[in-house]
């Protein structure tokens, strides 16, 4: 398929991989974090790590908006959904995320009216069609999705729609990266920057990472060759002794971001003093809430939410996995107590989480497959 | 109006999570990835348990939750050697005759869609379940649950379509039942069909029969039905030139069995959960690995495009007129020729093969040149597609 196949070509991948391998210094190990969950998904879905030399490791970061949502916020949303005459709307990947007492799916089965939508505008449409109900949109995501939430609020205001509100859980990427950079056990050589977020915020906000923390960053696209090429750019910087912010995804990401999108966010939302991230704890100025001028669209002001914090079980080691200190399989509960059906920690929640991606796509012994030379590496039985 | 920020004074614990951790407590601390993988496979082989207190849509999606529900509730209650095989239909001996018997319910929304409707779906689905047992389909029953207010004209249209599908498949609908429920207690029209067929070949087709070296074949492009239904709902504002693949596969199957003989090990139609789910069932039942070559999996460009947009893998999308066959490698070419000679099989392809290691897993060699697992589906990307 056009615009897809050319970014997934195995021969090109092999030649980029060879160039990466040529840049590896003997005895040195490299660890790069992809910040965005979309990258994690691509890496596993295409088996990208098979192309990387043994000494280059990708660490899967905190950039999955579903994963980082604390359980207490899910409980709050369910409490709103259970109010009389409320229709709760959410993206599909929110449906299975567990709170302290079950997920949206469970609440829906127990009678709450919770509907899957593909865009906040769909939620607004439901509000228009059901004037006797109050429709709440469960807003999640980084700067990528915040503009569409903000645009929807502005449209609702313009149309004078009164039975619509937002349960705002939008978060911002820079404070999360800062939290990781400040971690004492950080062992990273560089970052793959989040491509989708960067279409909105641009590449300039990352400059402090190179300048003050001495880690190069390459903003990367979401096809497997984008990621492989970005790894090559990082390796090249290390090899040449440079430490810069580069933009691999320039076909989509403008260096200065999208000014209009940022304005729209700023008009409708403001920073919260602090917000809890699953696996990372409280981070100051890391999330957004509705401005007072739009209080009539703010579900947190319209409804009474319990606001109870739900602690992650002690056995959960998501924090260490997110910072790259542990591999997913090294966590004590991985794959037994904590699975995609019963995710205990943030990394197992959505397919963009590091543990879920490893469980769903990577749960086999590469060493055994390579060493054993089992039939899987042989050609198919019948040639086409 | 109450303002509650994110600064939470009280902290509680998630009971279900603590309980899950406690269930698995005391596990030895493992050092190597290999040991951890083995422990996970042991945990996965344990008898499934339904955690939820209520049925959720995931229980109907054909993936992990459906399997858990069937094993923990139905097999547990009805336990017998025929049911325990969990094939598409039951193979029975009655007075010297070998019969295949199956049933299926249809709740698709919308009722009418490009390429078909709930009527021909209900006939073809049951005909196909019989065909996958290796049987010649003979007789069907049809039960209707109708919602008060449902247009009679629509019911006529559905009945006509069932009659045409039955005639095309060479089966008769010989008995039935009708119930009407008050408005709001059903969604228009639900249909349940059951079918009987005769097993004329001395074959023992079973998901347990796959052997290392076997070829894995699909009869045509994947995902047409599921994506068609998704687009027919009009929620996505995507238009595509695509129609359902619903079709009766008994003729195609007969040709396949003539060509493959006892070299045919497993036949399945790839409905809910798609080809990925079928291959996982086969890998688990036969304790083999199934290795799929992504580049040889046939998928139409429109399906690839829609699936990319929706974030769905076509391997998990339902088909209603495609089969998966596992056949002895020495018969693979003959089987492919037989499939391609039939209009319903002209897009057939060998998509992979069976290997001995790692047992119970489906591996995909990606077009990008990597390897990954294709697991059972968790959750439900597309509810009510059949």
Of A14, A305, A311, the CB nearest to B4: A305
What value does the mean pLDDT take over residues B164-190?
A: 97
Residue B314 DSSP class:
G
- Residue A375: pLDDT band with limits 50, 70, 90: very low
Question: Does pLDDT of B6 surpass 60?
Answer: no
pLDDT in tens, B100-142: 999 999 999 999 999 999 999 999 999 999 999 999 999 999 9
Q: How far is it, in rounded angstroms, from Cα A107 to Cα A82?
A: 8
- Residue B19: pLDDT band with limits 50, 70, 90: confident
The confidence score (pLDDT) of residue A270 equals 97
Residue range(s) occupied by CATH 3.40.50.11740 in chain A: 71-171+287-302
Of B64, B235, B293, the CB nearest to A380: B293
Of A310, A338, A382, the CB nearest to B215: A382
pLDDT in tens, A48-68: 999 999 999 998 888 788 888
Which of A42-56, A216-230, B170-184 bottoms out in mean pLDDT, i.e. has the lowest?
A42-56
Superfamily of domain A71-171+287-302, CATH level 4: HypD, alpha/beta domain 2 (3.40.50.11740)
Cβ of residue B32 closer than 8 Å to a chain A Cβ? no
Q: B367 with A8: CB under 8 angstroms? A: yes
Question: Does pLDDT of B30 surpass 80?
Answer: no
Q: How far is it, in rounded angstroms, from Cα A186 to Cα A115?
A: 40
What value does the mean pLDDT take over residues A156-185?
A: 93
User: Comparing C-alpha atoms, which of B89, B165, B175, B177 is closest to residue B139?
Assistant: B175
Question: Does pLDDT of A27 surpass 60?
Answer: yes
Q: How far is it, in rounded angstroms, from Cα A8 to Cα B94?
A: 55
The confidence score (pLDDT) of residue B28 equals 58
The confidence score (pLDDT) of residue A359 equals 87
pLDDT in tens, A219-232: 999 999 999 999 99
User: Comparing C-alpha atoms, which of A12, A74, A375 is closest to residue A227?
Assistant: A12
Q: How far is it, in rounded angstroms, from Cα B258 to Cα B298?
A: 24
Question: Does pLDDT of B203 surpass 80?
Answer: yes
- Residue A94: pLDDT band with limits 50, 70, 90: confident
What value does the mean pLDDT take over residues B301-317?
A: 90
Query: Looking at per-residue confidence, does B354 or A5 come out higher?
Result: B354
The confidence score (pLDDT) of residue B234 equals 78
How many angstroms away from the CA of B38 is the closest CA of chain A? Answer: 9
The backbone torsions φ and ψ at residue A23, rounded to the nearest 5 degrees and listed phi first, read -90, -10
The confidence score (pLDDT) of residue A380 equals 34
SS (H, E, C) A23-68: HCCCCCCEEEEEEEHHHHHHHHHCCHHHHCCCCEEEEEEEECCCCC
Q: How far is it, in rounded angstroms, from Cα B9 to Cα B121?
A: 55
pLDDT in tens, B71-110: 999 999 999 999 998 888 999 999 989 999 999 999 999 9
Question: Does pLDDT of B9 surpass 80?
Answer: no
Q: State percent of chain B over pLDDT 90.
A: 69
Q: How far is it, in rounded angstroms, from Cα B101 to Cα B130?
A: 7
- Mean pLDDT score of chain B: 90
Residues in chain B closer than 8 A to A108 (CB atoms): 56-57
Interface of B with A in 269-308 (CB under 8 A): 289, 291, 293, 296, 301, 304-305, 308
Domains of chain B: 32-83 (no CATH), 90-198 (3.30.1330.10), 215-373 (3.90.650.10)
- Residue A322: pLDDT band with limits 50, 70, 90: confident
Interface of B with A in 217-236 (CB under 8 A): 235-236
Question: Does pLDDT of B4 surpass 50?
Answer: no
pLDDT in tens, B251-268: 999 999 999 999 999 999
Residues in CB range of A2: below 8 A, 6 or more apart: none
Residue of chain A whose Cα is closest to the Cα of B306: A1
- Residue B26: pLDDT band with limits 50, 70, 90: low
Q: How many other C-beta atoms can be found within 10 angstroms of the C-beta atom of residue B307?
A: 22
Residues in chain A closer than 8 A to B40 (CB atoms): 334-336, 363
Question: Does pLDDT of A377 surpass 50?
Answer: no
- Mean pLDDT score of chain A: 89
How many angstroms away from the CA of A63 is the closest CA of chain B? Answer: 17
Q: Which two tokens stand for residue A217?
A: 């960053």
3-state class (DSSP) for residue A117: coil
Question: For the whole model, what pTM was predicted?
Answer: 0.87
What value does the mean pLDDT take over residues B293-305?
A: 95
- Residue A370: pLDDT band with limits 50, 70, 90: low
Which of A69-78, A204-213, A311-320, B355-364 bottoms out in mean pLDDT, i.e. has the lowest?
A311-320
Q: How far is it, in rounded angstroms, from Cα B110 to Cα B158?
A: 12
How many angstroms away from the CA of B89 is the closest CA of chain A? Answer: 28
Q: How far is it, in rounded angstroms, from Cα B323 to Cα B318?
A: 11
Question: Does pLDDT of A366 surpass 80?
Answer: no
Q: Which of B75-84, B270-279, B339-348, B368-377 has the highest mean pLDDT?
A: B339-348
Cβ of residue B241 closer than 8 Å to a chain A Cβ? no
Residue A114 DSSP class:
E
- ipTM of the complex, rounded to two decimals: 0.83
- Residue A368: pLDDT band with limits 50, 70, 90: low
How many angstroms away from the CA of B137 is the closest CA of chain A? Answer: 31
């Amino acid at each position: 398929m056009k615009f897809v196949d050319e970014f997934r070509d195995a021969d090109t991948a092999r030649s980029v991989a060879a160039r990466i391998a040529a840049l590896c210094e003997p005895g040195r190990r490299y660890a790069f974090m992809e910040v965005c969950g979309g990258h994690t998904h691509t890496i596993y879905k295409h088996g990208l790590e098979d192309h990387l030399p043994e000494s280059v490791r990708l660490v899967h970061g905190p950039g999955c908006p579903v994963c980082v949502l604390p359980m207490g916020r899910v409980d709050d949303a369910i409490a709103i959904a259970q109010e009389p005459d409320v229709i709760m709307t959410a993206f599909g990947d929110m449906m299975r995320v567990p709170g302290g007492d079950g997920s949206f799916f469970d609440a829906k089965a127990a009678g709450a009216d919770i509907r899957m939508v593909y865009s906040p505008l769909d939620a607004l449409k439901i509000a228009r069609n059901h004037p006797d109900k109050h429709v709440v949109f469960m807003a999640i995501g980084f700067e990528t999705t915040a503009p569409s939430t903000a645009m929807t609020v502005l449209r609702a205001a313009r149309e004078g729609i009164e039975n619509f509100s937002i349960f705002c859980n939008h978060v911002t990427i820079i404070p999360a990266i800062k939290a990781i950079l400040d971690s004492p056990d950080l062992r990273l050589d560089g970052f793959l920057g989040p491509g989708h977020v960067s279409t909105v915020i641009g590449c300039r906000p990352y400059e402090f990472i190179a300048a003050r923390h001495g880690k190069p960053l390459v903003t990367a696209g979401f096809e497997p060759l984008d990621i492989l090429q970005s790894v090559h750019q990082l390796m090249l910087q290390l090899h040449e002794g440079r430490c810069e912010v580069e933009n691999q995804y320039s076909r989509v990401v403008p260096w200065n971001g999208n000014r209009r999108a940022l304005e729209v966010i700023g008009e409708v939302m403001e920073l919260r003093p602090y917000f809890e991230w699953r696996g990372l704890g409280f981070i100051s100025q890391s999330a957004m809430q509705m401005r007072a001028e739009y209080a009539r669209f703010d579900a947190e002001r319209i409804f009474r939410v319990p606001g109870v914090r739900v602690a992650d079980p002690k056995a959960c080691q998501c924090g260490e996995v997110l910072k790259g200190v542990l591999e997913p399989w090294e966590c004590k509960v991985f794959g037994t107590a904590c699975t995609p059906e019963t995710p205990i920690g943030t990394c197992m929640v959505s397919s963009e989480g590091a543990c879920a991606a490893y469980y769903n796509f990577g749960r086999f012994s590469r060493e055994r497959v390579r060493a054993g030379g089992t039939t899987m590496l042989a050609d198919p039985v019948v040639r086409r | 109006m109450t303002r509650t920020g994110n600064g939470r004074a009280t902290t509680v614990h998630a009971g279900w999570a603590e309980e899950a951790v406690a269930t698995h407590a005391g596990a030895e601390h493992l050092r190597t990835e290999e040991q951890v993988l083995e422990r996970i496979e042991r945990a996965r082989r344990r008898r499934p348990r339904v955690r939820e207190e209520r049925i959720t849509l995931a229980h109907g999606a054909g993936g992990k939750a459906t399997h858990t529900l069937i094993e923990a509730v139905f097999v547990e209650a009805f336990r017998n050697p025929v049911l325990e095989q969990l094939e598409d239909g039951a193979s029975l001996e009655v007075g010297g005759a070998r019969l295949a018997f199956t049933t299926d319910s249809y709740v698709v929304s919308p009722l009418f869609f490009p390429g078909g409707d709930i009527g021909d779906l209900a006939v073809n689905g049951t005909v196909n379940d019989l065909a996958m047992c290796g049987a010649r389909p003979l007789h069907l029953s049809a039960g209707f649950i109708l919602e008060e207010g449902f247009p009679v004209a629509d019911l006529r249209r559905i009945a006509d379509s069932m009659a045409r599908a039955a005639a095309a498949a060479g089966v008769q609908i010989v008995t039935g039942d009708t119930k009407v429920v008050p408005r709001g207690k059903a969604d228009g029209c639900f249909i349940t069909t059951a079918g009987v067929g005769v097993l004329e070949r001395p074959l023992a087709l079973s998901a347990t029969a796959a052997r290392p070296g076997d070829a894995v074949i699909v009869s045509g492009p994947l995902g047409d039905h599921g994506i068609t239904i998704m687009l027919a709902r009009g929620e996505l504002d995507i238009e595509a030139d695509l129609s359902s693949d619903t079709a009766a596969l008994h003729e195609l199957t007969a040709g396949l069995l003539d060509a493959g003989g006892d070299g045919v090990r497993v036949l399945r139609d790839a409905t809910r959960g798609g080809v990925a789910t079928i291959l996982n069932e086969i890998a688990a039942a036969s304790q083999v690995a199934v290795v799929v070559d992504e580049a040889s999996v046939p998928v139409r460009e429109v399906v690839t495009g829609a699936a990319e947009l929706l974030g769905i893998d076509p391997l998990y999308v339902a088909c209603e007129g495609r089969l998966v066959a596992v056949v002895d490698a020495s018969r693979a070419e003959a089987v492919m020729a037989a499939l391609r000679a039939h209009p319903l099989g002209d897009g057939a392809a060998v998509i992979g093969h069976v290997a001995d290691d790692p047992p119970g897993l489906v591996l995909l060699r990606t077009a990008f040149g990597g390897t990954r697992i294709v697991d059972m589906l968790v959750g439900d990307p597309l509810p009510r597609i059949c």
